[in-house]
Amino acid sequence: MTDGTAKTELLGLPQGELERYFADLGEKPFRARQLMQWIYQRGVRDFDEMTDLSKALREKLKQTASIASPDIISRHDSSDGTVKWLFESGFGQAVETVFIPESTRGTLCISSQVGCALDCAFCATGAQGFNRNLSAAEIISQVCHAVAELPRRPNGEPAVSNVVFMGMGEPLANYRAVVPVLELLISDWAFGLSRRRVTVSTSGIVPNMDKLGDECNVSLAVSLHAPNDPLRDRIVPINKMHPIDELLDACWRYAGKHSNRFITFEYVMLKGVNDSRDHADELFRLLDGNPAKLNLIPFNPFPGTEFECSSAETIRRFQGRLRDRGLVVTTRKTRGDDIDAACGQLAGKVSDRVKVKLREKGVATA
C-alpha cells in the first residue's frame, strides 16, 4: 500500500479468501472469479490488462495487492520430451517441477517443500534435509509457469492434464499451503482439472490423510515401499510414528469417503531389500480385497546412495506374481533420466547443505 503497509499476495488465495478480500474493498464476490480467470486461465499478472475490471478497481488493486511471479533458474528439455524447471527458493536453494508428456495425457510433477524432513533412506530429497515449506503462491506458480511455457496439445487441449505432488517434499507436512492449491487446481475458475487427475502423494502422515479426505476429494497415492513394519521402519522412518496397520486403515477410510476411488500404492524396487517373493506375498496379503492399485517404481540411483535398483527381470517377476492373483500392478517407466528429472533425483545436486532433522519437531502437524 502507499502508506507502507505490505501488499496482499493474491496468487494462491482460494476463492473464498479472494472474495473476502474484494468484500473488504467494497466489491462484489464475482470479482474474485474474474480475477482467478485472468491469473490462472489467461496467465495475466498485470492488473492494467484486466480489462473487465473498472479502472478505479484496477488502481485499488495496484496499490494494495500483488501477484508474484516465480524466479526461474533454468529449464532443461530431455530427449524424451520431459521438461524440468528449477525455481529459486531462497538462500541458494531450489525446487524442481517436471513435465512428463505421454500420448493421452501430460503430467506435471510439482514440489511442496524445499527439501524434506522425513528422511526416507532411498530419496535424494530426504538426504538433502528439510529447509522450509513452500507457500501456496510458490506451489501454484509452478503450475502457472509450466502452463504458460508449454504449447497446447495437437487437439487444442492444455498441455497439463494431470498434476501430481511427487516432486520435492511431503505435501501433507505442508497441509495448510497444499489445500488452497488443490482447490485452485480443481476450480472451474482456475485450472478446472478433474479431481481424479490431481494426485497427492504421501509417505503416510495419517492425521492429515483423514483431514484431506474430509476437505478435498482428490486422488491419493501412498508411498508404501515395504510390506512389513521392521523393513518400513528402516526405509520410510515416518512408519515408526504411523505403522502399516494404521496407515492402511487410513487409506481404506479415505477410499470409503469417495465412491469408486482406488488408492495407488507406490513401491520403489530396491535390489535385495524389498523385492523378494516373500515380500510380494506379504504385499499381496496387505492389499488383496481392498481398493488398491500398485505402482512399482524402479529405484533411481543418486550419488552416495547405498541402494541399487532391482533387475528388470526381478521387477517383471514381482509384478507377475501379484498380477496373476488379481492385483492391478503397473511398473513406472523412468523418464527424463538424462536431465536428472526422475523420481527421487530432484534437486539432488543443487546443494550439499548440512542435513537438518525436524522429524521430532512436529512435522506431522504442519
Catalytically active residues, by annotation:
96, 343
| Site pattern 201..230 for ligand SAH (x: CB under 6 A) | xxx-------------------x-------
Q: Tell me: does residue 120 bind ligand SF4 (CB under 6 A).
A: yes
Would you say 178 and 195 are in contact if contact means Cβ atoms under 8 Å apart? Answer: no
In sequence order, what E strands does the chain have? 8-9, 65-66, 72-77, 83-88, 94-101, 106-109, 113-115, 130-133, 162-165, 198-202, 219-223, 263-269, 292-298, 328-331
Stretch that binds ligand SF4, among 28-36, 112-120, 284-292, 312-320 (CB under 6 A): 112-120
For 62-84, the three-class secondary structure string (H helix, E strand, C coil) is HHHEECCCCCEEEEEECCCCCEE
CA distance 208 to 204: 9
Q: Tell me: does residue 125 bind ligand SF4 (CB under 6 A).
A: yes
Cβ-based neighbours of 126, under 8 Å, separated by 6 or more: 116, 118, 119, 120
Q: CA-CA distances (angstroms) from residue 247 to 4, 253, 341?
A: 48, 10, 29
Q: State which residue, 111 or 135, has the beta carbon closest to ligand SF4.
A: 111
Q: State which residue, 169 or 298, has the beta carbon closest to ligand SF4.
A: 169
Q: Tell me: does residue 138 bind ligand SF4 (CB under 6 A).
A: no
What residue type is 346 in one-letter code? L
Stretch that binds ligand SAH, among 128-136, 138-146, 162-170, 248-256 (CB under 6 A): 162-170
Residue nearest to ligand SAH (CB): 344
Stretch that binds ligand SF4, among 25-33, 118-126, 316-324, 330-338 (CB under 6 A): 118-126
Buried/exposed 79-89: b ≥16 CB within 10 Å, e otherwise: eeebbbbbbeb
Q: How far apart are the first and last CA of the chain?
A: 30
Q: State which residue, 120 or 140, has the beta carbon closest to ligand SF4.
A: 120
Stretch that binds ligand SF4, among 115-123, 254-262, 314-322, 324-332 (CB under 6 A): 115-123
Q: Tell me: does residue 174 bind ligand SAH (CB under 6 A).
A: no
Q: Tell me: does residue 343 bind ligand SAH (CB under 6 A).
A: yes
| Site pattern 280..319 for ligand SAH (x: CB under 6 A) | -----------------x-xx-------------------
Q: How far is the CB of 279 from ligand SF4 (least distance, A)?
A: 19
Strands 106-109 and 94-101: antiparallel
By rule CB under 6 A, what count of residues binds ligand SF4? 11
Q: Tell me: does residue 186 bind ligand SF4 (CB under 6 A).
A: no
CA distance 247 to 364: 14
Cell numbers at 24, concatenated: 473488504
Q: For residue 166, give the nearest of 116, 226, 230 by alpha carbon.
A: 116
Indicate if the alpha-carbon torsion angle 197, 135, 222, 211 is positive or negative: negative
Q: Tell me: does residue 345 bind ligand SF4 (CB under 6 A).
A: no
By CB under 6 A, name the binding residues for ligand SF4: 116, 118-120, 123, 125-126, 169-170, 203, 223
By CB under 6 A, name the binding residues for ligand SAH: 120, 122-124, 165-166, 170, 201-203, 223, 266, 268, 297, 299-300, 343-344
